[in-house]
Structure 1
Amino acid sequence: MRAMRSVLEIFMEGHGATSGGQSVLETMKFAVLPIAKVFIMCFMGFLMASKYVNILNANGRKLLNGLVFSLLLPCLIFSQLGRAISFEKMLEWWFIPVNVVLATISGSLIGLVVAYIIKPPYPYFKFTIIHIGIGNIGNIPLVLIAALCRDKSNPFGDSSKCSEDGNAYISFGQWVGAIVLYTYVFQMLAPPPGRSFDGIEEESLPIKTPVNVASPEQVPLLDVEPQTSEIDTSKSAKIIGHLRYLADKFKIKQIFQPPITASILAIVIGTIPVLKRFILTDDAPLFFFTDSCLILGEAMIPCILLALGGNLVAGPGVGSARLGFRTTAAIIFARLLLVPPAGLGIVTLADKLGFLPKGDKMFKFVLLLQHTMPTSVLSGAVANLRGCGKEAASILFWVHIFAVFSMAGWIVLYMDLLF
């Protein structure tokens, strides 16, 4: 009770109570208002997708998601990351991708402990670990940074620099997140041996006849090409076959998605001074291209929030019934309330060891956000490939609803620690 009275006294004092030069009310403002903006835009998407308006139907949301993923997000990453990064800064930012890996490891360990305690239904043990361990390190942080930096009185300073630095830090970690997603997550979400997530035996499924096997009647009687050409062709075919096998094995096509390609191009061009002056700076000969990307990138935030809100209109679906209340609640609780404290410990230790740039509060804030976000939306795409898409959609539905409240609380704490 004494603690509650102390809090009320602080709020009654208003701007008189300060922590590091910033009042509690200001901290609450900068922590809660970005979440409120996100909630309003998501609600608009929900309204547009509802049966009363029905503008953002399922096909419309699919097209909008594709537009964001293939064009708007890559444009934002290329323009913001490319303009902010340099070779020296890349060396300073080395802990960002490391933090993504550490977030995956710590989250997965927490997921493993939770899975052993709650004992989820048989096919969903690794599923539980993944949906606790893999957070959204890209889209939602970008949205929060944009909403926070839009306020000219934000604690990070100039709005344009706040937005550019925040977007650059977030984008710099996305390529690692993609590799983790399409290697570690893809393997972990494999169905049980000999079965699918629906419990159907693989042997009972229809087997397709390979289309590249020729019947005896189709084999030519005479070889019209010289033997040397046949040998060369077979060697070339073997090499191409090996390359295709490696590309499929390591999911190269999935890893090099448009946002990751944009990140790589931004890093390469941004760290080479000649190319940067030619393309990315304000007086560059090709700045009209970068400026076009900046304009398109600004549309990413509202579009992705409209699509996210529209996706919530379908509800959790049958996935909740398959997972059960116990497993669903455990994943939400662990992802939103157990993972962030571990991340706070990791970032605090890294700061004590001197791994973080001195005095860069936005850098530390982004690192903390990487541990605080709800489950990655892209894990739903991988789950669809593995046959557990409905269950993943259910988790994403509930975890994003409760994340509105948990993120506000954690950001209040982070603002208090940083300022």
Structure 2
Amino acid sequence: MALGGFYIWTFTYQLIRSSSLKFKALKTAEENEAFKGPNNDSETNEKSYLLDNNSQDQLPIRTTKTTENQTVEVSSWRKIVGMVHTILEELTAPPTLGAIVGFLFGSVTWLKNLVIGDAAPLRVIQDSVKLLGDGTIPCITLILGGNLTQGLRKAQVKPSTIIAVVCVRFIFSPLIGIGIVKTAANLGFLPADPLYHFVLMLQYTVPPAMNISTMTQLVDVAQEECSVLIMWTYLVAALALTIWSTVFMWLLS
């Protein structure tokens, strides 16, 4: 579960944030295009346009190729710098830093003894973190409920989209999970423990994480649509978990 939280707040959060930036840029471009007026430049006509094209065609070919190569190099360098910057942002995000610190204190014995336990000298840190952690679930539920109230009124989610998400989440994903777990067990990568295999298969059947609704709230994009999708997936999960748990136990018995 800790690894899952680490993955959600790194890859998933970055995916949602990048998609929100693209959506906002596209929306801004559409608004600018809608308010853009006609070109009233009196010095611009068809003749000047042809003259400009002819003047561009008369440029040396070697100069044009050199400029194109420099543009490609600059764009490639910018992509690399942007990728490194994105990775550093993900590693320095508060959830990522919290997960790294948690793994560090959990794996190192003497650090764990400083914080965890009744006799730990710094057990106040554990108590404070536990209080904050217990409050995150009600906060996420309130955020999801507030977005759902608005989503049921004005969210524009097509029924085909809801059906597609539910089918992928509760039909294709469990089938893929069965294949992966069975293959890994046959190759000897997993211990011969049916309960362990059952838990691994069950991970492919659970509904989406509620933290996704918090991420959409942070980036201020598609909060209502996300809340509606989560509502339907959790409603279907009540039936899907029961059915797939029965199937998993039948396969592992």
TM class by smaller structure:
0.5 to 0.7
TM-score by length of 1: 0.40
C-alpha contact 2:2 2:99 (8 A) present in aligned 1 = yes
* Aligned counterpart, 1:267: 103
Provide the C-alpha distance between the structure 1 equivalents of 2:223 and 2:250, rounded to a whole number of angstroms.
38
Distance across 2 between alignment mates of 1:264 and 1:366: 25
Measured in 2, the distance between the counterparts of 1:404 and 1:358 equals 29
Cα shift at 1:270: 1.6
1:374 aligns with 2:204: no
1:373 aligned partner, one-letter code:
V
Q: Where does structure 2 lack aligned partners over 5 or more consecutive residues?
A: 37-77
Residues 150, 224 of structure 2: 8 Å contact kept? no
Q: 1:279: how far off?
A: 2.2
Q: Once the 2 structures are TM-superposed, how far is the Cα of residue 375 of structure 1 from its aligned partner?
A: 3.1
- State the structure with more CA Rg: 2
For residue 192 of structure 1, report the CA deviation from its aligned partner.
Answer: 6.4
Residues 310, 401 of structure 1: CA spacing in aligned structure 2 closer, same or farther, 3 A cutoff? farther
RMSD: 4.0
Q: How does 1:360-371 map to 2 (within 5 A)?
A: 361=195, 363-371=196-204
Contact 1:374–1:403 at 8 Å: present in 2 too? yes
Alignment partner, residue 247 of structure 2: 413
Flag the 1:202–1:399 CA change in 2: closer, same or farther, 3 A: farther
Post-superposition offset of 1:189: 5.6
CA 1:251–1:298 in 2, change beyond 3 Å: closer, same or farther? same
Match of 2:186 among 340, 352, 362: 352
CA displacement 1:232-279 (0-9 Å, x = unmatched): xxxxxxxxxx9xx86994175566554433321121112112212222
Question: How far apart are residue 331 of structure 1 and its match?
Answer: 1.9
1:270 to 1:382, Cα distance in 2 relative to 1, 3 A:
closer
Query: What is the alpha-carbon distance in structure 2 between the residues aligned to residue 296 and residue 383 of structure 1?
Result: 21
Greater RCO, CA 8 A, separation 6+: 1
Task: Name the CA shift for 1:248/1:261 in 2 (closer, same or farther; >3 Å).
Answer: same
Question: Gapped runs of 5+ residues in structure 1?
Answer: 1-169, 207-241
> Identity of paired residues, percent?
27
Distance of 1:317 and 1:199 partners within structure 2: 27
Provide the TM-score with structure 2 as the length reference.
Answer: 0.61
Distance (whole Å) between structure 1 residues aligned to residue 133 and residue 24 of structure 2:
43
Aligned residues: 209
Query: Which position in structure 2 is the counterpart of 1:388?
Result: 222
The AA in structure 1 aligned to 2:99 is S
Inter-CA distance 256–397: structure 2 relative to 1 (3 Å threshold): farther
CA contact (8 A) 1:182 1:251 kept: no
Alpha carbons of structure 1 residues 246 and 296: separation in structure 2 relative to 1, 3 Å? same
How do 1:100-179 and structure 2 match up within 5 A?
Answer: 170-179=1-10
Give the 3-state SS of the residue equivalent to 1:349 in structure 2.
Answer: helix
Structure 2 letter corresponding to 1:348: K
- The letter of the residue matching 1:265 is V
The reply on whether 1:336 has 2:166 as its aligned counterpart is no
Distance 1:390 1:288 in 2: 39
How far residue 393 of structure 1 moved from its aligned partner, in angstroms, is: 3.1
Residue type of the partner of 2:123?
F
The 5 A counterparts of 1:218-257 are 249-250=85-86, 252-253=88-89, 256-257=92-93
Higher helix share: 2
